[in-house]
Structure 1
Amino acid sequence: MENKYIYQDAFVELQQIVADIEDGEVSVDELTSKISRASELLAICKAKLTASEKEVEKLLEKLDAAPDTQTE
């Protein structure tokens, strides 16, 4: 799944799909494609969040491993 979505773009589109479905603005014929697209967007968001979480964990590990520069 090649995409150049940033998290915010995917999230906004996903919110719009959900709103359209909740408001009844999606016909039964469109429902399958909307659900499929929502699934793709969820995968994009999950991948971005997972990658961000891993980066934060790496940064925290570096901070924990760094020598304490504070003097007591």
Structure 2
Amino acid sequence: MPKPPFQTPASYEAALEELEQLVSLIESGQLPLDQLLTGYQRGAELLQFCRDRLQAVENQIKVLDEGTLKPWTQE
């Protein structure tokens, strides 16, 4: 039976905080193997979320630097 998908973080900062806590927990070496795998999967999703948000901001900065103001739509 497939597990439900992880919840999307509320913001970049929330994702980064959760990712930092997860890395600390994984590095502690105290997680059972199943939880370690789940933690790794969640970490990968959080990392992708953060990368996507950073890319969106970088794209908006490029638009502003070119002197063309366009509305920023969050994806």
TM-score interval for Structure 1 and Structure 2 normalised by the shorter chain: 0.7 to 0.9
Note the aligned Cα RMSD (angstroms): 1.9
Q: How many angstroms apart in 1 are the aligned matches of 2:12 and 2:66?
A: 25
| Structure holding more helix per residue | 1
Segment of structure 1 superposing worse, 20-29 or 45-54: 20-29
Structure 1 length-normalised TM: 0.77
Higher relative CO (CA 8 A, sep ≥ 6), structure 1 or 2? 1
2:25 corresponds to 1:20: yes
Count of residue pairs the alignment pairs up: 63
Q: How many angstroms apart in 2 are the aligned matches of 1:41 and 1:32?
A: 14
Structure 1 runs (4+) deviating above 2 angstroms are 1-5
Gaps of 5+ in 2: 69-75
Aligned residue in 1 for 2:72 = none
Displacement of 1:4 in angstroms is: 5.0
1:49 is aligned with what amino acid?
A: L
Q: How many angstroms apart in 2 are the aligned matches of 1:45 and 1:9?
A: 10
Residues 14 and 42 in structure 1, CA contact (< 8 A), matched pair in contact too: yes
Structure 2 length-normalised TM: 0.75
Identity, in percent, stands at: 33
